[in-house]
Amino acid sequence: MPHKKYIHRPTVLKDLIIIVVVNVILLIAFGYFDTLEWLYQSSLDYQYLQLDELVPLGLTVSLSLLVFSYRRIVELGQMAGTLEKMALIDPLTGLPNRRSGQVRLIAWCQKAQRKGQTFVVYQLDLDEFKKVNDLYGQIVGDEVLKQVSQILNQFLPISSLLCRWLDDNFLVVVKLDTIDNPHQYAHEIQSEVTKKVMANTAPLTMSIGYKIWQKDQTVEDILHDVEDALMHAKHLGKHQIKGN
């Protein structure tokens, strides 16, 4: 059930204990005061009030409230799940955002550590993208970012990870055994984007830094290395590639 993931177990346990204690006390009180006998006798004395109907009515009301509460809990769980998904998605491109990318990259590192499955992390940055917004406006700039994300999504292997890292910066994670050469693959990414985005208007260039994951390397380590590689590539000029 979708709501189970969002239940705060200590609070649930505390509430269940309170409910059990309260009902045990009520049970003792009902037995001590012969509540059922009193209800039965009252129903005989006041038959015109139909008091004997209160017992089945109480049961049906209790069941109705139970169903109602369960349905509301399910709805709240579904709503929480939707909000969580929205928090992990970049609203402009529909790609996983930075937070989601970090979480998934942790999983990649853990899996690689267990199975020895090496991967490559690429950080892509559109050169001087601010000029696109200045010349054509932010709406066009947003459309360019969406187009770049769609092209990358279609070009990359199905097993890869693509997320919008920051503004005009994208993070790509690819299994090493799905590509021939990490440096050559970076060239292919550059070519795929630049030949399809703004090819007939202002030339769009892309700098790329990349890092091959090494055993025992943490997420923080590989992100630091790939960012250093990207900074080095950008210092070399436009449309450069640098591995670390």
pLDDT of 194-229, one tens digit each?
888 887 777 789 999 999 999 888 999 999 999 999
Contact (CB, 8 A) for 158 and 236: no
| Torsion 241-152-127-109 (CA) sign | negative
- The answer to whether residue 229 is domain-embedded is yes
Are 155 and 226 found together in one domain? yes
Which stretches within 46-156 are classed as H helix? Answer: 54-87, 98-115, 130-136, 138-155
Give the CATH number for residue 120.
3.30.70.270
Q: Give yes or no for residue 140 having a pLDDT over 80.
A: yes
| pLDDT(44) > 80 | no
Q: Is the pLDDT of residue 26 over 90?
A: no
2 pLDDT more than 80: no
* Strand 241-243 relative to strand 206-212, pairing: parallel
Q: Is 65's pLDDT higher than 60?
A: yes
Q: What is the mean pLDDT of the chain?
A: 86
Give dist(CA 89, CA 61) in Å, integer.
42
Q: Is the pLDDT of residue 77 over 70?
A: yes
Percent of the chain with pLDDT over 90: 46
- Same domain as 107, residue 213: yes
Is 0.85 surpassed by the pTM of this model?
no
Last residue of a domain, one of 87, 115, 134: 87
Residues spanned by the domain of 64: 4-87
Mean pLDDT along residues 39-44: 65
Instruction: Tell me, yes or no, whether 92 lies in a domain.
Output: no
Going by the DSSP 8-state scheme, the letter that residue 170 receives in this structure is E
Element (H, E) at 89: none
Distance of alpha carbon 205 from alpha carbon 3, whole angstroms? 46
Q: Of 87, 118, 137, which marks where a domain is finished?
A: 87
